[in-house]
Homo-oligomer: A and B are copies of this chain.
């Protein structure tokens, strides 16, 4: 005979595990929404992925908050990439969810259209940091470094491994 208390405890444990799985997929979804937003020039959608204090820290630029992210998407640089045909594609990252915080560490590539195919313009290391808000997961920080043989990209990428040991 199984007691209700036992069932309730098992159910509660399972609810938490399912929530962890849902969080994992939702974090992945936020990371994967960045490319479609910037590659279609949807500045509002790109900005809406971030918290009000969100920081995009790249070796190319540093953007603080949704207003600067919107401005970047509307700016001449990004618009010229869009006209050429650009694809910001995230690799599947190593994701850690801890309560209301999450990190996703992995690779990204920017492909650019050419006359007869596509060039790989930029391959980078990324650490995405996210927080759970009343509206769902939002990005608080993205650290992005081109993989150019230098130490900075390796520092970012290595977090995929450090998190395993925690």
Contacts and interface: CB of A to CB of B under 8 A. Distances in A.
A58 interface: no
Contacts of A75: none
A113 interface: yes
B41 A84 contact: no
A24 interface: yes
B92 A154 contact: no
Interface of A: 1-5, 7-8, 10-11, 14-15, 17-18, 21-22, 24-25, 28-29, 32-33, 35-37, 39-42, 45, 82-87, 89-95, 105-107, 109, 111, 113, 117-123, 125, 146-150, 153-154, 157-158, 160-161, 164
21 contacts: A7-B8, A10-B11, A32-B106, A33-B94, A33-B160, A33-B164, A36-B106, A36-B160, A40-B154, A40-B157, A40-B158, A41-B154, A45-B161, A45-B164, A84-B149, A87-B123, A89-B107, A109-B111, A111-B120, A118-B121, A119-B120
